[in-house]
A and B are shown apart, each in its own frame.
Chain A
Amino acid sequence: MKPRPPTMRGKRRYILARLDPPSVAVSGRDLYYAIAESLTSLYGDSGMARIQPSVVSCTGGYAIIRCIRSTEGQVSACLAAVHQVQEVSVAVRSIRTSGTMRSLRQHLAGMKPRVPCGEQDAYFQGRSWTGVQYPGAKVDLFEKGFKNQQPLFLTEEDLEE
């Protein structure tokens, strides 16, 4: 069987999205389920079938989501409405839309890496925390001795006060 020629294939759009906080590792499959749930809740099953979303890649705190052309606005709205992935609070922020994955990857290559630049013990509001530092003087505080708790989001100036 001959493959369908490119001109007869459905046109796609690719959306680059940033996942926050960077400390949470989200798998592509979990992200897809969260997006599918959000899309179905906003546009119903027929909308989901029309949009045909798929998570193409999900690494390093960024994800590339594919959809049918002209539905990218709806996908952006559904990404903005995603607030949890596997019961962990996450923000999915669409950054850029493109017709090819290559241009998104080029854009991604020019962006700063989102890796922690240090870890320190911190004392805030009378309690002990582990502080994870990120570029831009950002500090995420995780309380010691508690698992799966929500972090506090501060800056280095807040810790110094």
Chain B
Amino acid sequence: MRCTDACVYPYPLGDSTVRRMAQEAGELGFDSMVAVGARGCTYKGVEVVGGTIIQGRDQREVQAAMRRIDGNPGILMATAGDYTLNRALLHVGRVRVLQGIHATPKNSFDHILSKMAAERQVAVDLDLSLLVSGRDYARQKALQRYADLAGLQSRFGFPFTLSSGARSILQMKSTRDMVALCGLFGLDEDGVGGALLGIAKILRPEKAVEVVE
């Protein structure tokens, strides 16, 4: 798991089945992907990790949504909100990825939350579909937020994940395309490489001491 597309939406949320998306991801240079609403499997050498997105306006709604989850949710991703909600989401142990930071107020993710995210190994997701489908102000705002997050990440070292946010194989991006798109907000090739490893880092965190045979 060295190169992961951190969020795709297969059929019925999109127009492509999870197998076809996995096949396409393999051709685009990925070895794994997180598919919302899908079960974990491996198809043509590409590891598919299931994912669940929870959304709530405050901590209570988030916890209620988490209680409703039955079975194995895979990677639990939460939609970010204001500062209080983001802080609460970082405290909830089960949430592994914060999504949708671009749509939150500018002060909703600062140096304190960055440090907390780094300590708890909660990743922040950069959804590249906004840079593709967004226009004018929406795209400019997303680029500004991503550039700001890239600065915080280089200082505090919390994990990044990169997602295509694809609902179709036509919206999936290759690793080469991701490098080009991330260049728009100043994330260099090494940064992109680290972000593509983000899911692996949160699923299999490095231990202080590890026995290597």
Contact = CB atoms under 8 A, between A and B. Distances in A.
A158 B184 contact: no
A154 B170 contact: no
A73 B180 contact: yes
B156 interface: no
Contact of A136 (B23, B131, B174): B23
B170 A138 contact: no
B170 A91 contact: yes
Contacts of B183: 73, 77
A20 B100 CA distance: 28
Contact of A151 (B15, B172, B176): B15
A155 B184 contact: no
A154 B180 CA distance: 28
A80 B15 contact: no
Contacts of B184: 42, 77
Given A77-B180, A83-B170, A138 B23 contact: yes
A157 interface: yes
A133 interface: no
B20 to A, nearest CB: 5
Contact of B17 (A42, A151, A158): A158
Contacts of B15: 150-153
B131 A81 contact: yes
A94 B170 contact: no
B141 to A, nearest CB: 15
A89 B168 CA distance: 10
A153 B174 contact: no
Contacts of B176: 76, 93-95
Contacts of B16: 152-154
Interface in B108-135: 131-133, 135
Interface residues of A, number: 27
Contact of B132 (A81, A138, A153): A81
A93 B174 CA distance: 7
A101 interface: no
A90 interface: yes
B135 A153 contact: no
Contacts of A27: none
Interface in A34-51: 41-42
Nearest to A83: B132
A21 interface: yes
Interface string B173-211: 110111011011000000000000000000000000000
A81 to B, nearest CB: 5
A93 B28 contact: yes
Given A94-B176, A152-B11, A155-B17, A81 B181 contact: yes
Interface of B: 11, 15-17, 19-20, 23, 28, 131-133, 135-136, 139, 168-174, 176-178, 180-181, 183-184
7 contacts: A77-B184, A80-B173, A80-B181, A83-B132, A94-B177, A152-B16, A155-B17
Interface of A: 20-21, 41-42, 73, 76-77, 79-81, 83, 89-91, 93-95, 136, 138, 150-155, 157-158
Given A90-B170, A152-B16, 11 more contacts: A77-B183, A81-B181, A93-B176, A94-B174, A94-B180, A152-B15, A153-B20, A154-B11, A155-B23, A157-B19, A158-B17
